[in-house]
Structure 1
Amino acid sequence: MTLEPLLDAPIAIQVHVAAVIPAAVLGAYLLAKPKGTPRHRLLGKIWLALMVITALSSFFIHQINMFYGFSPIHLLSILVLIGCWRAIVNARKHNIEMHKRVVGSLYFGGVVGAGAFTFIPGRIMNRMTFDGDEIAPLLIAAGIGLALLWLTSNEIWRRRRLS
């Protein structure tokens, strides 16, 4: 593993990675821990701020130039921004079921799903993590798949009901 590809990347990519990595870790923590506590609310606000930074910074990344500097991934960034707003609105309205669905979609689509594509050979995260190893992304994808199955299982949600 080497940080050189990231350190050589444009500042927008560095900001993007600096926001999304803690968002990935914090999001997993929030999904696994009890909901509705003061800690959950505070960390949830931090997580949403990280997600907004991640989405906004992506508009300055133009590595995949398909349409005037933008690509389909930028549509995901718009959806993330809308999702962050919807998560806040639903939490304030105490519409917890919708809040859970929106936040789950943000995490699994905006962090896990999009993050998995960053490990495709030739991308910066692949070069950072695997340094040219072609089998490692498949192992990462399998690990992410198992984590998704565990996190989305009914068992974990039954154990982590709102207090």
Structure 2
Amino acid sequence: MNYILLVYLHLATVVPAFFIGTYLLLYRKGTRAHKLLGKVYMLLMLLTASITLLMSSALGPVLLNHFGFIHLFSLLVLYSVPAAYIAARKNDIKAHRNNMIGVYVGGILIAGAFAFMPGRLLHSWLF
């Protein structure tokens, strides 16, 4: 698949996920809005993590001529989102919260910071 198309698909899923995730972290939990937006957020994060696995690493060491360290965040998301959903369904709020904070911090904040590092496409677009 075309790399630029993958970048646009990734941005189309991760940007709204960032805003929805921020809202979910800051506002009241357990409401209908939280549950609905949470499902949208989880779907967006699963999509964005899947898309990033199709994108080959541009910097640093590469495994199998494709995967880099940043792909570890995709694996974190692909594990933590279902774990958080299952925890919520079991009413294990602590596990749900911990998994979702991990998704937000690791999958959005840290991975996003790496995406804006010099040598990466987003860095060249922005700066």
User: Is 1:92 aligned to 2:89, yes or no?
Assistant: yes
Which residue of the partner structure matches residue 7 of structure 2?
Answer: 13
In the TM superposition, residue 125 of structure 1 has moved relative to its aligned partner by 1.5
- Structure 2: runs of 5 or more not aligned: none
Q: How does 1:32-111 map to 2 (within 5 A)?
A: 32-64=26-58, 66-68=62-64, 69-111=66-108
CA distance in 2 between counterparts of 1:71 and 1:111 reads 17
Q: For structure 1, which segment, 8-17 or 73-82, has the greater mean C-alpha deviation from structure 2 after superposition?
A: 8-17
CA distance in 2 between counterparts of 1:128 and 1:106 reads 25
- Consecutive aligned runs of 4 or more in structure 1 exceeding 2 Å deviation: none
CA distance in 2 between counterparts of 1:128 and 1:41 reads 35
Letter in 2 for 1:74: H
In the TM superposition, residue 9 of structure 1 has moved relative to its aligned partner by 5.1
- TM-score with structure 1 length normalisation? 0.71
CA distance in 2 between counterparts of 1:58 and 1:41 reads 26
- TM-score with structure 2 length normalisation? 0.90
CA distance in 1 between counterparts of 2:104 and 2:123 reads 21
Which residue of the partner structure matches residue 157 of structure 1?
Answer: none
CA distance in 2 between counterparts of 1:86 and 1:37 reads 20
* Alpha-carbon contact 2:80-2:103 (below 8 Å) kept: yes
Task: Report which of the two structures shows the higher radius of gyration computed on alpha carbons.
Answer: 1
CA distance in 1 between counterparts of 2:57 and 2:82 reads 27
User: Is 1:129 aligned to 2:123, yes or no?
Assistant: no
User: Is 1:117 aligned to 2:111, yes or no?
Assistant: no
- Structure 1: runs of 5 or more not aligned: 1-7, 131-163
Q: Relative contact order, CA 8 A, sep 6+: which one is greater?
A: 1
